[in-house]
């Protein structure tokens, strides 16, 4: 195979990445070898599976827990997540603990085939032995076996060949579990371990290199968690950058966001909704605090290069007072004002602010376009859906209208971000249309 073909196959695998994991499920009598794990180990394994956000990718809506089958789009075709229940024929019931550890950390299945890095094994490589053992016990003895065959990918030959992933692993997989950093306290190290390992935050929030590898795996790299474009969304900057990152967030703000999906600065959307629903809201306060402490320690990086944001509503108020003179103001007045306010400050945590919102200030407007066209999934906190999810406007607004209103928002209240073009909206509308149809929301 040519280098170009190998790179393309590798790219498809890595681009599919960023959201896959392992996941929690229901109690069962499942076992494949050895005595049943004790209750404490099963409980710990279930908790770690939630920390890894496993359910989000391995459970389809209304499907059996961990039976796989969730479609994931890549530039070369669609792949489907796998069955990770302990069914011996279609799941991982035949895996030994060593087999499980190899798949988790190295991306190699029991039969020797390479997994796509959509399963974020470059992050899971940092998971410690005792946590791997607890996860194994949970998936073997705490998850109901489901007999459901895995689906082959829609990627056509020869691009579906997996041997180039062996080269990708040699180049980009860094082996070795997380080791505590000297000079840092226990909370910081716990937060770093969760963010870099099971939380696999870098899979979405770190930009990719020429081989579609994450450009940094920890805080020693300047690109780490500076934000990245992925599958029609821009995963936010998580560094201390003032405008587009977490520079204006307190640790309490960050903890609130991880627990509820909303705070005074922003609300969750896209894949982050699933992370809140399936993972972070279930974490204990100590781990939430540790994650917040670690993220707040990251120095400012990335960003939009603009001066520090300062709220100024004057010019926007003038436009909203005479919306007939401004195409974006007309759309905002008709569709947005009643939730987000004339002052742009919204009604947090129910309606996100737009003034100074890091996602509004970001250079890349993909998330704003996507959420305007397609709305947001329901945040479900402690079993209660959020009262006011963002509705989808792809059926009500033209490409030009979406571009007009987003340009208005990005310029308004002293946000100072760049305009959005109708062509950008059209491109993302077309890109997300198959997803909407597959989800029955078109």
Residue stretches of the annotated binding site for heme c: 54, 57-58, 201, 204-205, 336, 339-340
How large is the angle between the packed helices 366-374 and 399-411, nearest 10 degrees? 130
Residue ranges of the annotated binding site are 54, 57-58, 201, 204-205, 336, 339-340
Phi, psi of 262 (to 5 degrees): -160, 150
Tell me the three state secondary structure of residue 165.
Answer: helix
Cβ neighbours around 325 below 10 Å, total: 10
Rounded Cα gap, residues 225 and 231, in angstroms: 17
CA atoms within 13 Å, Cβ hemisphere of 413: 19
3-state SS assignment for residue 19: coil
Q: How far apart are alpha carbons 419 and 408 in whole angstroms?
A: 8
Distance CA 323, CA 317 (A): 10
Cα–Cα distance between 145 and 67 in angstroms, integer?
Answer: 8
Tokens of 205: 């929030």
State the angle between helix axes of 285-297 and 251-260 in degrees (0 to 180), rounded to the nearest 10.
130
**How many C-alpha atoms does 114 have within 13 Å on its Cβ side?**
20
Residues sharing a CB contact under 8 Å with residue 358, sequence separation 6 or more, in sequence order: 236, 237, 243, 244, 245, 246, 265, 266
Q: Please name which of 246, 241, 278, 276 lies closest in space to residue 264, comparing C-alpha atoms.
A: 246
DSSP symbols for 309-363: P----HHHHHHHHSGGG-HHHHHHHHHTHHHH-TTS-TBTTTB---TT-HHHHSS
Both tokens of 92, joined, read: 């991982």
Report the distance separating Cα 325 and Cα 321, nearest Å.
Answer: 10
Q: Concatenate the DSSP letters of all residues of 244-279 into one string.
A: TSSTT--HHHHHHHHHHSB-SS-B--THHHHHHHHT
């Amino acid at each position: 195979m040519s280098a170009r073909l190998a790179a393309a196959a590798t790219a498809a695998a890595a681009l599919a990445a960023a959201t896959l994991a392992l996941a929690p499920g229901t109690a069962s009598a499942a076992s494949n070898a050895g005595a049943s794990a004790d209750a404490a180990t099963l409980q710990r394994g279930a908790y770690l599976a939630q920390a890894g956000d496993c359910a989000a990718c391995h459970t389809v809506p209304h499907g059996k827990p961990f039976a796989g089958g969730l479609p994931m789009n890549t530039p070369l075709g669609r792949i489907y997540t796998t069955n990770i229940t302990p069914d011996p024929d279609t799941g991982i019931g035949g895996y030994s603990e060593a087999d499980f550890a190899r798949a988790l950390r190295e991306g190699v299945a029991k039969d020797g085939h390479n997994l796509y890095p959509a399963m974020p094994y470059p992050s899971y490589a940092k998971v410690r032995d005792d946590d791997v053992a607890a996860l194994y016990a949970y998936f073997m003895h705490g998850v109901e076996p489901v007999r459901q065959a895995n689906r082959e990918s829609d990627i056509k030959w020869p691009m579906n060949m997996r041997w180039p992933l062996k080269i990708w692993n040699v180049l980009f997989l860094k082996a070795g579990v997380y080791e505590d950093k000297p000079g840092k306290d226990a909370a910081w190290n716990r937060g770093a371990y969760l963010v870099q390992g099971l939380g696999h935050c870098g899979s979405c929030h770190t930009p990719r290199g020429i081989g579609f590898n994450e450009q940094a795996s920890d805080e020693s790299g300047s690109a780490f968690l500076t934000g990245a474009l992925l599958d029609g969304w821009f995963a936010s900057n998580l560094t201390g950058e003032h405008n587009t990152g977490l520079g204006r967030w307190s640790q309490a703000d960050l903890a609130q966001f991880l627990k509820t999906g909303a705070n005074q600065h922003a609300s969750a959307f896209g894949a982050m909704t699933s992370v809140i629903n399936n993972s972070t809201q279930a974490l204990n306060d100590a781990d939430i605090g540790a994650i917040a402490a670690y993220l707040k320690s990251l120095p400012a990086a990335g960003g939009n290069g603009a001066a520090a944001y300062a709220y100024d509503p004057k010019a926007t108020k003038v436009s909203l007072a005479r919306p007939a003179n401004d195409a974006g103001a007309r759309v905002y007045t008709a569709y947005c004002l009643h939730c987000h306010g004339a002052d742009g400050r919204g009604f947090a945590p129910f309606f996100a602010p737009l003034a100074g919102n890091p996602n509004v200030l970001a250079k890349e407007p993909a998330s704003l376009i996507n959420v305007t066209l397609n709305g947001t999934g329901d945040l479900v906190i402690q079993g209660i859906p959020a009262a006011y999810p963002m509705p989808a406007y792809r059926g009500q607004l033209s490409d030009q209208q979406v571009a007009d209103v987003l340009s208005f928002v990005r310029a308004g209240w002293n946000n100072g971000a760049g305009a959005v073009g109708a062509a950008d909206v059209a491109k993302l509308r077309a890109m997300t249309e198959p997803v909407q149809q597959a989800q029955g929301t078109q």
